[in-house]
Amino acid sequence: MKLIIINGPNLNLLGKREPEVYGNKTFEDYFADLQFKYKDVQLEYFQSNIEGELIGKIQEVGFSYDGIVLNAAAYTHTSVGIGDAIKAVTTPVVEVHISNTHKREEFRHVSYISPVAKGVILGFGLQSYDLAIQSFLK
Ligand code: DQA
């Protein structure tokens, strides 16, 4: 089982960024917890603040990996390109968000990822990633 977590813009600042929304833990620390918990899963992590790099990574892994856990962050609400990339590849994508975007500003209620994702998990803090991984193991 080969999975990758792909994080979009500003998620490199987790731990520092708006802790009341996103918590106090860095993603690197949380990723180490996930690797420890899912020892039998080949788990990779990629983050970029650049839309084209996210699309490039989806294309690169999207015909061979078993699953992509994608938090496209702000690009969720704007990126036709990321949505098209997900449609173009064969690897299923589970969309995740740390916060419950539907409880927040209206512009966060729109997602270009949801219509092309296998499923969506949001609002459970960092645990959203864990739940997404579990969805691929069942
Ligand atoms: C987010 C929600 C997005 O609206 C926001 O732009 C993010 C993080 C989340 O995980 O809650 O950067 O994807």
Return the pLDDT at 135: 98
Rounded to the nearest 5 degrees, what angle is found at the Cα of 30, between the Cα atoms of 21 and 94? 75
For 97, the enclosing helix (H) or strand (E) is strand 93-97
Find, among 12, 113, 115, the residue nearest to 58 by Cα.
113
pLDDT tens across the length of the chain (138 residues): 999 999 999 999 999 999 988 889 999 999 999 999 999 999 999 999 999 999 999 999 999 999 999 999 999 999 999 999 999 999 999 999 999 999 999 999 999 999 999 999 999 999 999 999 999 997
Q: Which amino acid is at 50?
A: I
- How many CB atoms lie under 10 A from the CB of residue 47? 21
Q: Which residues are catalytic?
A: 22, 97
- How many CB atoms lie under 10 A from the CB of residue 67? 22
The alpha carbon of 134 and the centre of ligand 1 are apart by a number of angstroms equal to 21
Return the pLDDT at 26: 95
Which residues, judged by CB distance below 6 Å to any ligand atom, belong to the binding site of ligand 1?
Answer: 10, 71, 73-74, 76, 97-99, 101, 108
For 31, the enclosing helix (H) or strand (E) is helix 27-37
Return the pLDDT at 23: 86
